Structure 1
């Protein structure tokens, strides 16, 4: 297979295995990842030439499309700056921002509460929205507003290939692993920023596909943040996501299976894409919200994720919302009340 064809197939794999759905909801959409089994390196926050980074202990070369490959990579985040003020309220100032994620410039939207600070911070990872129609800060609008009003700096990541972010290569632009790197880099850049952020109090929040991105970040970079919250997340097992969104696309499914094998035949490849395989690395408390009427990301996925985290002795809080759908409607205020209380406790 040629390099160009191989790269294009990898892009397709990352999109489909991430659970990419053609439909989008008001806060995002649907996507996710798969399982893995191989020796995992340890990672910890550090610095390189004064720039925050997450460096990994070298291991035997992992598959390039895998979480271990991201664990082996030095992830750098720096240069957070406010580009333009785009909104203002009595509670916070809103700015379009940019920062460096490795060699890329990533855009985002930041809300900074009024007052002296320093403030705790939340980095937000949105669900799937077609990059061709995505706009700066789209997704998680309600969460950004509420959290800023509650005294948290919010940094909503646009991801590579979205809004004003660099497109990167064809592979990196569409890879959920690339999105994971952008979210980790956002935390590092936020911690290095000279603005009113308490860099000892930072959390992650993601929904749908972004929930899968958060799971990845927790396994790739344990100790990076102090807590994490996910809403209606995709599965932490990549096989689930492939079967839901990849298998029905017969032409693409055949190409993926031809290159990488059926999940039953090539378990190492498929497990190498799954955060669940590496839940032993998670060091932060996690809160998961899921509705019983979610017709995009089945609630069974969160039940299995919770069981897997608990089996590893992790601190996980799980809230089920009867008859609530994927985007969260009537019970969203309750979910955010619980989220704010959880963040205040763990970012104290």
Structure 2
């Protein structure tokens, strides 16, 4: 609902894009091949050397020419390669102040060439010059990631297509994401790291702007081709809670779903002898990771390690819309985002020896909590024993209805509500077809998502299946105000299996904060209090009522 966090956590930067600082004409000789006259300077020059400017401009390494000093400088992160172009003879080159051998950087016809092994030493990049173009082997994912981002920023479709697989070419990227990446071209990449999960190998490039940092996540398939991409703000500052006791649990990875819906999850199992009850954690809006990270807080990780102390296992997963952002963005539904992943997780968890198949619960936060009635309704075999709603928006209202109720809170400025209401008139029309939406329709993420959610009434679907529920709410929540709890009590009136509790000092993320501080609360490291964890554990372990 409108009271949930914005779907895109990125903030678009309004600054001019700085173009290339040196002409491309000096990249190489006319046919793109290194002239054979280099044979007198070094053996097998055509295979051993790369045109320096072509390499730098392909992978986004800043390269500068100081005409007064006749010096070329290329810098990748903190690795600085510089050389002085003498009036005649070999250039004097050094790497971070250490002189290079005379043949490591050579000059011919005003074009500099760098030895392939020197490129590895200077920039950590493997490359070859083949058939008049640069090629980066599939094993050098970091260089391929930088090349993809650089060519995307230059609007070079042929360049990006050379690095992507067919599925990515077909899916493409939302225009907003492309524009963000282009704007980031003016800021340096200050960090590069590679992470692997069971679905992708991902290179994460951190771009540092004056106000915030952004992480560009370039995902690769097994063949070293770009399979997906996500750009979002870089979050730092998280601190492990005091109740995180590594000896009290073990963690292992699980794959949930298949194909472009496959995600990796972390199963946190308490120490001791199982099987244990299991809570499957479901995030709210946005392309969130498995920890539900927002700025300096990771509430899902806190819940996982905390519940382990009380002999409750948890499964938390990256969202499909994060792992497969490009592949799914144009057509996923609320079922794809919030329902199917949990149902798949239930099936996978039931056969795990550490999990008690008769005690599997779902805990939904924010939009994930608001979706609990549909999740339970779709669980036709009643494999989910019960559910926890964490700051779920008022279930009396549909998504579209919520835009007429400003008292429900949220992060959409009042001045934008008129625009949303006008857009929603298009969605409400009987003629609204997600395959061919009106030309004026612009709401993210896509028309299929809106077509699906317009037909979801939590109050109506709550009648389709009765289950034990625990509904929790922070009283300092500016996104889902305390008044929303009234809706849950009304919808589930007369059901003795539903328990409610509020927490006076807690925000939307169930960490301490002040209502008036808004999103600023999340920028301060804070953990989910043990009282919340103890209440959830007591309800699960004993099916007991939680003190109000």
Common fold: TM-score over 0.5:
yes
Question: What is the rounded CA distance, in whole Å, between the counterparts of 1:200 and 1:282 in structure 2?
Answer: 17
* Among candidates 504, 509, 515, match of residue 322 of structure 1: 504
CA contact (8 A) 1:176 1:213 kept: no
1:114 and 1:215 mapped to 2: Cα distance?
32
| 175-184 or 336-345, which deviates more | 175-184
2:389 aligns with one of 230, 234, 242: 230
Tell me how large the CA RMSD over aligned residues is: 3.5
Q: Does 1:296 align with 2:479?
A: yes
Distance 1:102 1:281 in 2: 31
Q: Gapped runs of 5+ residues in structure 2? A: 10-196, 200-243, 294-299, 431-451, 513-527
| Alpha-carbon contact 1:101-1:185 (below 8 Å) kept | no
1:168-201 alpha-carbon deviations (Å, 9 max, x no partner)? 533554636532121122112211x343211111
Distance 1:334 1:287 in 2: 14
Does the Cα contact within 8 Å between 1:109 and 1:137 map onto a contact in 2? Answer: no
Matched, 1:203 2:361: yes
Give the TM-score normalised by the residue count of structure 2: 0.42
* CA distance 1:314–1:322, shift in 2 (3 Å): same
Does the C-alpha gap of structure 1 residues 221 and 19 become closer, same or farther in structure 2, counting only changes over 3 Å?
same
Residue aligning to 1:259: 427
- C-alpha offsets along residues 182-241 of structure 1, whole Å, 9 cap, x if unaligned? 1122112211x3432111111111221221232321232252311211221122222454
Residue 170 of structure 1 corresponds to: 329
The answer as to 2:390 corresponding to 1:242 is: no
1:161 aligns with 2:343: no
Partner-residue secondary structure (3-state), 1:296: coil
Equivalent residue for 2:466? 283
CA separation of 1:178 and 1:200: change in aligned 2, threshold 3 A: same
In structure 2, relative to structure 1, the CA distance for the partners of 1:187 and 1:242 (3 Å cut) is: farther
Structure 2 match to 1:338: 535
Cα distance, 1:234–1:102 mapped onto 2, change above 3 Å: farther
In structure 2, C-alpha distance between the alignment counterparts of 1:118 and 1:329, rounded to whole Å: 30
Shift in Å, 1:309: 0.7
Contact 2:469 2:499 in 1 (8 A): yes
Q: Counterpart of 1:280 in 2: which secondary structure?
A: coil
The structure-2 alpha-carbon separation of the partners of 1:207 and 1:91, relative to structure 1 and needing over 3 Å to count, comes to: same
8 A Cα contact 1:83 1:95, kept in partner: no
- Alignment match, 2:492: 309
Larger radius of gyration: 2
Secondary structure in 2 matching 1:108:
strand
Work out whether 1:117 is the aligned partner of 2:314: no
- When residues 119 and 105 of structure 1 are mapped into structure 2, their CA distance, relative to the original with a 3 A threshold, is same
Which of 239, 242, 247 matches 1:90? 247
Moved more, 210-219 or 223-232: 210-219
Q: How many residues align?
A: 262
Q: 1:190 to 1:101 in 2, by over 3 A?
A: farther
Whole-angstrom distance in 1 between the partners of 2:501 and 2:534: 12
Equivalent position SS for 2:493: helix
- Larger deviation, residues 293-302 vs 248-257: 248-257
Is this contact kept in 2: 1:271–1:277, CA < 8 A?
no
Q: 1:115, CA displacement in angstroms?
A: 3.0
Q: 1:275 to 1:177 in 2, by over 3 A?
A: farther
For structure 1, which runs of at least 5 residues remain unmatched after alignment?
Answer: 1-15, 25-81, 263-268
Matched with 1:21 is 6
How far, CA to CA, are the matches of 1:277 and 1:182 in structure 2?
22
Change (3 A) 1:277 1:168: farther
Structure 2: how far apart are the matches of 1:341 and 1:170? 39
Post-superposition offset of 1:287? 0.7
CA contact (8 A) 1:206 1:230 kept: yes
Q: Is the 8 A contact 1:88 1:94 kept in 2?
A: no
The equivalent of 2:172 in structure 1 is: none
